[in-house]
Amino acid sequence: MTLKRFKRAAVVVAAVATMGVGAGFAAPLSASAATQPTGFVSYSNGGAYFEAQIDNNPGNGAASWLWQADYTYNDAYAAVTHVYYTDGSYAVWGPTYNGTTTASLPKDVARFQVCKWAAPSNNLGCSAWKYL
């Protein structure tokens, strides 16, 4: 391919890419990544496994909703979820032993993580923070 043809092909590709964004083909991908109302995290350590999920648009009248799980039964560990709300306040939800629990939360969540927990008030490891 000569340099002249290459330049023309580049112009056509740029025009098609611009039309795609203008027509909404590429824009939803970037827009949805920044405004996802739900998130999921998990953490495992030493045979124990924990999960948490947040929904900032649950449709049940609450500002947000939490589901957390401890999937390792008959041990001393529990799941707790650390939550930072969009107004900067903080809460810890749990502990959940041997199963799952749900909670309607009073505010939208900005970020959260699930942790392996043992009494008295001892975090033994946590997932990465999930930002919503």
The pTM of the full predicted model, rounded to 2 decimals, is 0.72
**Bigger pLDDT: 52 or 26?**
52
pLDDT of res. 10: 40
- Does 3 score more than 70 pLDDT? no
On whether the 36-131 domain is CATH 2.60.40, my answer is yes
Cα separation, 50 vs 126, in Å, equals 9
Per residue in 46-87, pLDDT tens? 899 999 999 999 988 899 999 999 999 889 999 999 999 999
Asked if residues 52 and 41 have their Cβ atoms less than 8 Å apart, the reply is: yes
